[in-house]
Amino acid sequence: MATKAQEPKGKLGVMVVGLGAVASTFMTGVLMARKGLAKPIGSMTQYDKIRVGSGEDKKYLHYKDIIPLADLNDIEFAAWDVYPANAYESAINAEVLKEKDINPVKDELEKIKPMKAAFDHNYAKRLDGDNVKTVKDRWDMMEQIREDIRNFKKESGVDRVVVLWAASTEIYVPVDEEIHGSLAALEKAMKADDREHISPSMCYAYAALSEGCPFIMGAPNTTVDIPAMWELAEKTGMPIAGKDFKTGQTLVKSGFAPIIGTRCLGLHGWFSTNILGNRDGLVLDEPANFRTKEVSKLSTLESILVPENQPDLYGHGNDEDTQYYHKVRINYYPPRNDNKEGWDNIDIFGWMGYPMQIKINFLCRDSILAAPLCLDLVLLSDVAMRAGRHGIQRFLSFFLKSPMHDYTKNEVPVNNLFQQYTMLKNAIREMGGYEADEQID
């Protein structure tokens, strides 16, 4: 039987890297919800009910009645950002929420002033803020972040902290076995100021884990998706989760692709394109940053509709005639701001190979979809820590676009939304002292 989570003591600190649209929307929503002025809709931890027990003992309970979740009233926020604007100014500037939905918590938001960010302009060339740390090397960068975490704990009096990355996508850092393959090699590269292989986000993750804080990667960065960080998470006994919040188009893809697969229909091609105008869209307009996102978005479909398993259905489309054609695009389009639009054109075929098409047009709001994910990931990572779970938290795949997995052992990530939901429910049952009683097959 898995370990039951311990009850939370004291307050939970939530330290967010990046105080942009997503973070300010998340913070505002939590502060408004605990005043009873808004509802945390979209949050599984606040609304979902799952079954525990079976037969006569069967009951459907909210998560908080199964596992010891931190209460919204016990959350204290802090942030780092390259821009000095406080959380109130950031929420106003982001133009996601109306002023009337921000002003009731203005005083609390104004107190959340971002600490200087650990930042390297080469990793996000479109950002040029000056609220940035002066560092000697990557090791010093990490040490300064550790000091920030310690200071926040001391000043706020929180009992424990979760660190969440809600900042922009960094340029693509390919995994290099010689540097990222072991903790010793990673530490050596940090001390040697290897800026090519050690991103600022890796410094945040290293600092968080070393200070006994779970770390969540909300962008598609390579950060914790390397053996060195898995080693550190095991050594420190901390949970890690990532990568990339599954908000709009990929949520649709991970939910809709199983329909095609379950119904045994064929797929010729899936073309996905997005228009987006917020800071994330600006950063992703840089090809090196888009490459990081593309890798994350492309990976979803391939593990759900597998050509090797069903060559008649999915072994078509590309020049090599080995697989359907899958293309993902993101277009920076400032007029839309945070109101992202995703178009999916899906070319399927059925009986006797006759073609059909599906069109999905999702007019979504990026930060409105991401905010509840932030809350769920933070609260569930905190519970996982109290249940003694460390390393990759596969049960959090439900919330993430490109779920972490041990690729060194050829593990295949679970991307099917309904299988991910089963993993989530089983983990919650276990952490609540119940049996994990649903099969994934």
CATH code for the domain of 389: 3.40.50.720
Residue 199 is given by DSSP the state: -
Tell me if 438 is assigned to some domain.
no
User: Which is more confident, 29 or 286?
Assistant: 29
In the 3-class helix/strand/coil scheme, how is 404-438 assigned residue by residue? Answer: CCCHHHCCCCCCCHHHHHHHHHHHHHHHCCCCCCC
pLDDT confidence bin for 320, thresholds 50/70/90: low
Report the pLDDT value the prediction gives residue 319, as an integer from 0 to 100: 52
Q: Are residues 141 and 284 in the same domain?
A: no
Does residue 440 belong to any structural domain of this protein?
no
Residue 186 counted as domain residue? yes
* Residue 428 CA neighbour count, 13 Å, CB half: 30
The predicted-structure confidence for 160-206, as pLDDT tens digits, reads as follows: 999 999 999 999 999 999 999 999 999 999 999 999 999 999 999 99
Are the C-beta atoms of residues 153 and 161 closer than 8 Å to each other?
yes
Q: Do residues 40 and 375 touch, judged by C-beta distance below 8 A?
A: yes
Same domain (yes/no): 282, 390: no
Q: Is residue 5 part of a domain?
A: no
User: Are residues 61 and 165 both part of a single domain?
Assistant: yes
C-alpha–C-alpha distance, residues 209 and 202, integer Å: 11
Distance, in Å, from the CA atom of 285 to the CA atom of 291, rounded to the nearest integer, reads 10
Of 363, 398, 413, the residue at which a domain comes to its end is 363
Pick from 211, 129, 212, 210: which is nearest to 167 by CA?
Answer: 129
Out of 58-67, 108-117, 323-332, 364-373, pick the least confident. 323-332
Same-domain check for residues 140 and 231:
yes
Task: Say what the pLDDT of residue 321 is.
Answer: 59
Are 221 and 295 found together in one domain?
no
200 in the same domain as 228 = yes
Q: Which of 51-55, 190-194, 228-232 has the lowest mean pLDDT?
A: 51-55
pLDDT at 282: 79
- For residue 31, report the phi and psi dihedrals to the nearest 5 degrees: -65, -40
Q: Which long-range contacts (CB under 8 A, 24 or more apart) does 118-121 make?
A: 118/80, 118/142, 118/144, 118/145, 118/200, 118/203, 118/204, 119/82, 119/200, 120/195, 120/199, 120/200
- Domain assignment present for residue 3? The answer is no
Of 339, 363, 387, the residue that ends a domain is 363
Return the pLDDT at 184.
Answer: 98
Task: Look at residue 36 and give its three-state secondary structure.
Answer: coil
Co-location of 65 and 199 in the same domain: yes
* One domain for residues 256 and 241: no
Rounded CA-CA distance 225/401 in Å is 13
pLDDT at 228 over 70: yes
Q: In the chain, how many domains are there?
A: 2
Whether 300 has a pLDDT exceeding 90, the answer reads no
Tokens of 10: 């004291």
108 and 175 in a single domain? The answer is yes
Q: Are residues 240 and 283 in the same domain?
A: no
Q: What is the pLDDT of residue 1?
A: 52
If asked whether residues 345 and 425 sit together in one domain, one would say no
DSSP-derived letter for residue 117 is B
The secondary element (H helix, E strand) that includes residue 85 is none
- Determine, yes or no, domain membership for 2: no
CATH code: domain of residue 305: 3.30.360.10
Does 437 fall in a domain? Answer: no
Q: What is the pLDDT of residue 315?
A: 87
Q: Return the HEC string of 376-403.
A: HHHHHHHHHHHCCCCEECHHHHHHECCC
Phi then psi dihedrals of residue 408, to 5 deg: -70, -20
Which of 328, 347, 363 is the last residue before a domain boundary?
363
Please compute the mean of the pLDDT values over residues 229-233 and round it to a whole number: 98
Measured CA to CA, the distance from residue 201 to residue 217 in angstroms comes to 9
Residue 1 counted as domain residue: no
Strand partners, 266: 349
Whole-angstrom distance, CA of residue 415 vs CA of residue 45: 21
Q: What is the mean pLDDT of residues 60-85?
A: 98
67-81 mean pLDDT: 98
| Residues composing the chain | 441
Q: Within this chain, do residues 295 and 378 fall inside the same structural domain, yes or no?
A: no
What's the pLDDT band for 354 if we cut at 50, 70, 90? Answer: very high
Single-letter residue type at 233: A
pLDDT tens for 80-114 read 999 999 999 999 999 999 999 999 999 999 999 99
3-state class (DSSP) for residue 336: helix
Measured distance CA(208)–CA(237) in Å, rounded: 12
Cut 0.85: pTM above it:
yes
Angstrom distance (rounded) from CA 411 to CA 403: 11
Structural domain span for residue 237: 12-245+367-431
Exposed/middle/buried for 410, CB within 10 Å: 0-12, 13-18, 19+?
A: exposed
Q: Tell me what pLDDT residue 286 has.
A: 82
Which pLDDT band holds residue 318 (cuts at 50, 70, 90)? low
- Residue among 365, 359, 370 nearest 24 (CA): 370
